[in-house]
Amino acid sequence: MIQTGPDFSYETDLFARGLTRVAGVDEVGRGPLAGPVVAAAVVLDPARIPDGLNDSKKLTAKRRAALAEELWQVAEISIARASVQEIDEHNILRASHIAMVRAIEGLSTAPHHVLIDGNLLPRGLTLPADPVIKGDGRSLSIAAASIVAKVARDTEMESLAQQFPGYGWDRNAGYPSKQHLEALQSLGVTPHHRRSFRPVHNILYQE
C-alpha cells in the first residue's frame, strides 16, 4: 500500500523498544534570501495527535495556523533559530543544524530518541537519533515540527515586513520572489538579508 502521508510507525517502533519520549525535528527557511532559519522539536502525546498533520508545504496557511495552535495545546514544543549572522558565518546547512540542536535542547526533558528531517544528523547532537529523508511526509512528529516551525517563521517575517516594507516578506517570507528581487535592486540590502546568498552578495559587490 502506498503511503499517502505521514504516520506514527517510526514512533511506534521506538515505543516498542522502551523509548517512549520521541521528538520530531524539522527546520524551515533554508531557501530565503532574508530572515533566520527556524527549527522546531515536537514531542507528541500519542493519545492526542491532531488530525490532518502533514508536511507543512502541503497545507494552506490557514490550516497550518489552526494545526499549530492545536499542537501548542496538546504537544510539547520547543522552537529555536539561527540568525542571519550565523547563516553567513557558517553556511545554511550548518546554521539549520545549529537551530535544530537548540530546539532539542529547549525541550523541558531530553527525549529518549530524536527523528530528524533530512539525510544528516547535526554535529553536536549527543542524543540517539535517526535522520529521516523527506521525514515531514513520513513521520507525524516531524510533520508537526515542520508546521510549528513554518508558522513561527512566517509570523516573524510578517513582523519584519512592517519594519522593512516593499520587499513583500509578509507574502514571500523572504524567498526570492520577483517582488523581493526587484526590491533588493531598488531599495537595497537590509540587515536581515543573508549576505552569503548570491543575489544579495551580487548587489552588495556589483561594480
- Yes or no: say if 149 and 27 are a contact pair by the CB < 8 Å rule: yes
pLDDT tens for each residue of the chain, 207 residues long? 455 799 999 999 999 999 999 999 999 999 999 999 999 999 999 999 999 999 999 999 999 999 999 999 999 999 999 999 999 999 999 999 999 999 999 999 999 999 999 999 999 899 999 999 999 999 999 999 999 999 999 999 999 999 999 999 999 999 999 999 999 999 999 999 999 999 999 998 874
Q: How far is Cα 156 from Cα 151, in angstroms, rounded to an integer? A: 9
Give the DSSP letter of residue 69: H
Give the DSSP letter of residue 140: H
Q: How far is Cα 24 from Cα 18, in angstroms, rounded to an integer? A: 17
- Yes or no: say if 135 and 117 are a contact pair by the CB < 8 Å rule: yes
pLDDT reported for residue 4: 78
Task: Record the pTM.
Answer: 0.95
pLDDT reported for residue 3: 55
pLDDT reported for residue 2: 55
- Around Cβ 1, how many Cβ atoms within 10 Å? 3
Q: How far is Cα 67 from Cα 18, in angstroms, rounded to an integer? A: 28
Query: Strand, coil or helix: what is 155?
Result: helix
Residue 160 vs residues 36, 85, 134, 148: alpha-carbon distances, Å: 11, 16, 29, 18
Report all structural domains of the chain as residue ranges with CATH numbers, in order of start.
9-163 (3.30.420.10)
Closest CA to 206 of 92, 198, 167: 198
Q: How far is Cα 31 from Cα 133, in angstroms, rounded to an integer? A: 18
